[in-house]
Amino acid sequence: KAGVTQTPRYLIKTRGQQVTLSCSPISGHRSVSWYQQTPGQGLQFLFEYFSETQRNKGNFPGRFSGRQFSNSRSEMNVSTLELGDSALYLCASSHGTSGGVQETQYFGPGTRLLVL
Amino acid sequence: AQTVTQSQPEMSVQEAETVTLSCTYDTSENNYYLFWYKQPPSRQMILVIRQEAYKQQNATENRFSVNFQKAAKSFSLKISDSQLGDTAMYFCAFMKPLMYSGGGADGLTFGKGTHLIIQP
């Protein structure tokens, strides 16, 4: 099976712009979760989507949003970019149903976002 | 809220040695999952091992094994016969099961990581 893919891999934006990141899960996985990784804050949970619905979200401002399509692909959008949004954004997929195997998350290679 | 603590920011061992990475966590939950992920310089996060809290038997995956002490809230990772390719950041992570998280996955709670260097 192909792994989780993320596009683009690298992105440079300026303050005030918006950005959209894409994540394609492992075939058969219906849950996609997004994480932000920074040197200062470490890895933090942004939100999780399952069957096109946001099921849960972490403690991030409303500038961070996402969506999921019927094929389980997910996009994350950040509006009005700030310097502090520079980070590695990781998405992870799982089956999304109850059970240890079904809930285990597998990560993509990440998108490195630099905000200037 | 859960917290995960990795007290060793960096460790260095010789190739073929055995190394143990420490992780403690704090939770009021009785059922949960614990994971070790590795992140090599490529930044790809790779699952190493999973432990389900209701299982008393420690998980093993080839050269990787854990020592899960539920009462002590400790979850250490042992790497046997370490190899140069094991050089990476290692993250310990906690997750509440779906059935206990109010309908949606809470997400993984990660520790700050341990940078493991395998010397030739």
Q: Tell me, what's the pLDDT at A101?
A: 81
Residue B20, SS3? strand
Residue B117 confidence (pLDDT):
98
pLDDT, tens digit, 9 for 90 and up, residues B3-52:
999 999 999 999 999 999 999 999 999 999 999 999 999 999 999 999 99
- Cβ of A110 and B50 within 8 Å? no
Residue A99, by phi and psi: left (phi above 0), alpha (psi -120 to 50) or beta?
left
Residue A98, pLDDT above cutoff 90: no
DSSP lists the bridge partners of residue A53 as A50
In this predicted structure, what is the pLDDT of residue A97? Answer: 82
Structure tokens at A103: 């809930």
Q: Do A33 and B105 touch (CB under 8 A)?
A: yes
Inspect the interface and report whether the beta carbons of B107 and A58 lie closer than 8 Å: yes
pLDDT tens-digit series, residues B86-114: 999 999 999 988 776 665 557 999 999 99
Length of chain B equals 120
> What is the pLDDT, as a whole number, of residue B75?
98
Q: Enter the tokens of residue B44.
A: 């790809």
Tell me the pLDDT band of A102, cut-offs 50, 70 and 90: confident
A106 vs B47: CB contact, 8 Å cut-off? yes
Mean of pLDDT over chain B: 93
Distance from C-alpha of A80 to C-alpha of A3, rounded to nearest angstrom: 31
Interface test with A, best of B32, B43, B61, B92 (most A CBs within 10 A): B43
Q: How many residues in total does chain A contain?
A: 116
pLDDT digits 0-9 by tens, A35-58: 999 999 999 999 999 999 999 899
Q: Give the other-Cβ count within 10 Å of A31's Cβ.
A: 25
Nearest to A90 among B45, B95, B104 (CB): B45
A66: exposed, middle or buried (Cβ count in 10 Å: 0-12, 13-18, 19+):
buried
